[in-house]
Chains A and B, each alone.
Chain A
Amino acid sequence: MAAMNDPLAAPVAAPIERYVPGTGQQHRHTIVVLVNDRPGVLNRVASLTRARNFNIESLAVGHTERPGISRMTITLRGDSFAVEQMAKQLYRLIDVLKVQDLPAEGVVEHELALIKVKATNHTRAEVLKVVELYKGRILDIGNDTVIVEHSGTEQEIDSLVALLGGFGIREMVRTGSVAMSRGSGVVDIEGILRSGTVPAVPTTIHPEEGNR
């Protein structure tokens, strides 16, 4: 029936295979999250990302210019839907005040690395030369090791690590990225905190009406 004027017979420009969110092209994203500095907040964020199956590469937490507010920088891989979903899930946490997916351009993004490199009398000069070339710093010189400090983008540190790898890396720690957008734009923490209060007991509370 309805074969003649079946609306389905008309050409429709809709996909036959519907896109499944999260299955698109994966990219590296940097997300900045402003949270209340309270016990357990890091746990909330970590628990959420694990439970929601997001693929985090690094997470760095620290203070902001505003006491009581911490800033997390999370780098993760995913398609744009997955990253948007991550941001929206983070907003469900009551201790999360602001989530920003930083653009790929116009951002300063650095991490810090401490690298303990094998450096004997034969190789020390060469190690120091490499470190100098990368504008790294030597924090400690031992009998047969040096500790190198370097801050830079993930790629810069990767590249230094690759070079120092030839001498033998004995120990390494990297902080994970922290990031900030360039220019005069800032995250308005005060504005978020001034967003206003609500009545503790809704005016609609009424035994007959219910209080949902």
Chain B
Amino acid sequence: MATEQEPRTGQATPAGMGRHVPNAGSAAAAEIEQARSTMLSDVKPRNRTRIGADALCEALLRQSVDTVFGYPGGVILPLYDVWGDYPGLRHVLVRHEQGAAHAADGYARASRKVGVCLGTSGPGATNLVTGIATAQLDSIPMVAITGNVPGALIGKDAFQEIDITGITLPMTKHNYLVRSADDIPRVIAEAFHVARTGRPGPVHVDITKDALTSETRADHPDTIDLPGFKPTFEGHPRQIRVAAEAIQAAKRPVILAGHGILLGDAMDELIAFAEKTQIPIAHTLLGIGAIDERHPLSYGYMGMHGWKHVNKAIQSADLLIALGMRFDDRVTGKVSTYAPRARIVHVDIDPSEIGKNVAVDVPIVGDVKRVLRALTPLMTLRAPEERAAYFAELAEWRSASEGVSWHGSGAWKDGLLSADYVVQRLGELTNHDATLVADVGQNQMWVARYAGFRRPDSHVSSGGLGTMGFALPAAMGAALGRPDKEAWAVAGDGGFQMVSQELMTCVADNIPVKIALMDNKKLGMIRQWQEIIYGGNYHSSTLPGPDWAKLCDAYGLPCFRARTPEEVDPAIRAAQAYDGPAMVWFETAETQNVLPMMPAGKGLSDLIETWEGEEA
């Protein structure tokens, strides 16, 4: 989006006979003409006064921003023109704006800071949209900044103009159209406050070109006044007492730990509460990392591709304690048959999540960390022995379900490389301490099930939106957001081909992302659904890919290849040993399925655990 077309108007107009302009002679018409010339002029404001673009850079620095992922274009150029004057701001030039948005997202998830991405108007802005939506569905704090055409041209279908705030309105926590340089300091401060406060989320700030280029003396605000944005942090004491009584009385309680535990930094409080009450913890996809999976009370991953024992525990529970999760359909399946005997205590900082998907018996609106801090002292200390029968049953279910659909030998069938084995070894060889960024599909479910997570923020995944192509750019962000941790993108060959251009960003900026390419030459999850649900009608799920070694060679990074279980460890180690971005090309079995699986529209008790017709 870096080019502007040559002006088509204005040539060959007889002198003194200007082209007809609607409302000619009026102040508005003069302003529009002025804006048109601003848009095309190649302003180089050296030896300059402070302009809107400066105010923006200062505002970012005030919010401790150090890294911004972006892509230049016509109307955002004034910002790039001053960028060099702010050495504290690193700009990572991506190869597609979607990469910028995912990278800012991955940066935020790995570092717990607000991620920032940048694009120009029109296509630059629309290319950010998928990444902003991904952040919205997963409650990721992000500020997306776009340029727009000069204010007077808005609504004229100017070059690269689109109503981007209209587009992002339903998929952001809030958005702004800034038309005056004087508003930039206040808006940026508000945007960061809204993005990070309460339930986090993306905020989009669209700034007109003339706002970026106008002189401004506006100061950065010390305070923010948003009467319509006052999240509730403290849970209501009466509701907390009611919850405590329900928990005290429960015989088969299960904690459902969601992303809110991580977003709310409530890992310690979760464990303190669970240990005191001796209640097992199941987690959602984005709740991975809320508890070390080796903890005796960690029972595992729930939902559509979750462990059968976990879903069974939920279905037979008499009380669910939902903490910072939102009863997504991938978690509940058919709501009418979900946990039929359970009362539900639901703690969430966003009141709209309570009662949205399931009716709740004890709602508590509040920050999960503070609610747990208030709740735990009300609970009676329990010994594990008090729940001996319950725990024995859970343990039996667990060992039964962990023995099924697990190809721990490395060879799935006919010696073909098993994808779950690859993921398991990846977890082990990175000491379960790397940031593993999953893409979407089978690879994502294998990562969630078999990598083995111990550290908060070590698992990054596009849960709500399920955005294919997420892994590589998000891993770039994760690598820069947590430079002390190895960052691995685990992607299928399908999702990776959506964003493979970002390999060049990794090489050019020396972002040390390691890529585990799970190449089954298929859209694996599509193929699995076609096999199990669509009677083997395999349309458009076979996906020829490039010679990945040659592709890596062209981009200038090494590619290590593994086709058998024996080749897995050396390939991973070689990539780890390489100083810089590197790919491991795993050629995995082509028709392996992720099991168990809850077919869409079915309930948690309808899990398909084994599939006979695997040899399709």
Contacts and interface: CB of A to CB of B under 8 A. Distances in A.
Contacts of A96: 228
A121 interface: no
Is chain B's interface secondary structure helix, strand, loop, or mixed overall? loop
A1 B229 CA distance: 53
Interface in A156-212: 192-202, 205-207, 210-212
B616 interface: no
Interface in B32-57: none
B609 interface: no
Interface stretch (A56-64, A87-95, A110-118, A138-146): A87-95
A72 B396 CA distance: 57
Interface string B328-339: 000000011111
B352 A210 contact: no
Contacts of B228: 36, 93-97
B170 A51 contact: yes
Contacts of A51: 170
B343 A14 contact: yes
B489 to A, nearest CB: 22
Contacts of B339: 18
A94 B341 contact: no
A88 B221 CA distance: 30
A177 B169 CA distance: 27
Contact of B230 (A7, A14, A88, A195): A195
A201 B189 CA distance: 7
A2 interface: yes
Contacts of B111: 210
B63 A201 contact: yes
Contacts of B342: 14
Contact of A212 (B141, B220, B224): B141
Contacts of A15: 340
Given A200-B220, A200-B224, A212-B114, A43 B169 contact: yes
B358 interface: yes
A48 interface: yes
A12 interface: yes
Interface residues of A, number: 51
A20 B355 contact: no
Contacts of B355: 21, 81, 84-85, 88
Contacts of B194: 94
A205 B111 CA distance: 13
B113 interface: yes
Contact of B389 (A2, A94, A193, A195): A2
A91 B340 contact: no
Interface of B: 62-64, 66, 108, 111-114, 141, 165-166, 169-170, 173-174, 177, 189, 192-194, 196-197, 200, 220-230, 251-252, 263, 265, 316, 318, 335-343, 350-352, 354-359, 389-390, 392-393, 396
Contacts of B192: 211
13 contacts: A8-B252, A8-B341, A18-B340, A85-B355, A195-B227, A198-B223, A205-B63, A207-B64, A207-B66, A210-B111, A211-B63, A211-B112, A212-B112
A48 B172 CA distance: 11
Nearest to B393: A2
A5 interface: yes
B266 to A, nearest CB: 12
B141 A8 contact: no
B352 A85 contact: yes
Nearest to A16: B340
Given A195-B227, A197-B224, A92 B263 contact: no
A199 B192 CA distance: 11
B420 to A, nearest CB: 29
A212 B139 CA distance: 12
Contacts of A55: none
A150 B263 CA distance: 54
Contact of A197 (B141, B225, B352): B225
A184 to B, nearest CB: 24
A21 B357 contact: yes
A47 interface: yes
A192 B228 CA distance: 8
A40 B170 CA distance: 12
Interface in A95-121: 95-97
Contacts of A47: 169-170
A17 interface: yes
B129 to A, nearest CB: 15
B352 A200 contact: no
Contacts of B189: 200-201
Contacts of A20: 335-336, 358
Nearest to B603: A18
A199 B62 CA distance: 12
Closest 7 CB pairs of A and B: A88-B352, A210-B112, A197-B223, A200-B189, A7-B251, A212-B112, A197-B225
A17 B340 CA distance: 7
A77 interface: no
Contacts of B196: 202, 211-212
A124 interface: no
B169 A44 contact: yes
A96 B189 CA distance: 19
A41 to B, nearest CB: 10
Contacts of B263: 212
Contacts of A207: 64, 66
B318 A12 contact: yes
A62 B252 CA distance: 53
Contacts of A198: 193, 197, 223-224, 226
Nearest to B221: A200
Nearest to A80: B355
B64 A94 contact: no
B391 to A, nearest CB: 11
Contacts of B220: 200
A122 B6 CA distance: 69
A179 to B, nearest CB: 21
